Amino acid sequence: MRYSYNYKRKTVELYRQGLWPDTPDGLNTENFRKMIRSWVRIEESCGLDALRHKSQNKEWTPEERYTLVARVLAGDSIKNVAYSVGINTSQLYQWVQKYKIYGYNGLIPKQKGRTPKDTNMKKVGTRKPPKPNESEYEELIRLRAENAYMKAEIEVIKKEIALREEKEAARLKAKKQRLSKNSENKDSN
């Protein structure tokens, strides 16, 4: 059942006042209340317009999907991540499952429908995006992390060298002062 934006707003307001609206005919009360709670969470995280019906579904790029999946794999709950961006929890769950099975390539949208019998009859304007190699993508991530680690290591080494040079300069200065005191003592004798 599709609910209007005004109906959703009224039910959310009633929920905030501690009241439950009447359950529509043919719906389970418990499921309807879960839906109202999800509307409240979506509105809290994404604003009022998140409850409006979209005229067109958003196309998620593989990189955007990967960031959401990475948040889930890092420990955030699927519900929290899905509500924060305003998508259905089952959609995010599917992306996580595809990532676990196929890796990054599972997040790339595939053409739907049956393949045509005659390959010459393909539409002119449709082109599939090039599929990144999974091992290359994982290697890129690994190399970036390694690069950041090496930069940090270099900074630590530079600081150690600076400290050694400071200590050496202080030692030489102290030695020079001692020698000058000794030479003054000999001259006075």
The per-residue pLDDT for 65 is: 93
Segment 62-116, tens digit of pLDDT? 999 999 999 999 998 998 888 888 888 899 999 999 999 988 888 888 877 887 7
DSSP secondary structure letters along 151-169: HHHHHHHHHHHHHHHHHHH
Does one domain contain both 44 and 65? no
Does one domain contain both 161 and 186? yes
Does one domain contain both 37 and 78? no
In a domain, 125, yes or no: no
The per-residue pLDDT for 131 is: 65
In a domain, 4, yes or no: yes
Q: How many domains does the chain have?
A: 3
In a domain, 44, yes or no: yes
Does one domain contain both 188 and 142? yes
Does one domain contain both 65 and 14? no
Let me know: does 108 contact 134? Beta carbons within 8 Å: no
Does one domain contain both 33 and 64? no
Range of the domain at 3: 1-53
Let me know: does 55 contact 31? Beta carbons within 8 Å: no
The per-residue pLDDT for 120 is: 67
CA–CA dist 85, 97 (Å, integer): 19
Domain containing residue 87: CATH number: 1.10.10.10
Does one domain contain both 144 and 167? yes
pTM: 0.49
In a domain, 150, yes or no: yes
Q: Which of the residues in the chain have pLDDT under 50?
A: none
Does one domain contain both 183 and 142? yes
Does one domain contain both 42 and 65? no
In a domain, 139, yes or no: yes
Tokens 């992306």 sit on residue: 95
CA nearest to 65, candidates 6, 114, 110:
110
Does one domain contain both 188 and 137? yes
In a domain, 123, yes or no: no
The per-residue pLDDT for 142 is: 87
In a domain, 138, yes or no: yes
The per-residue pLDDT for 127 is: 66
Handedness of CA 151, 154, 158, 163 (dihedral sign): positive
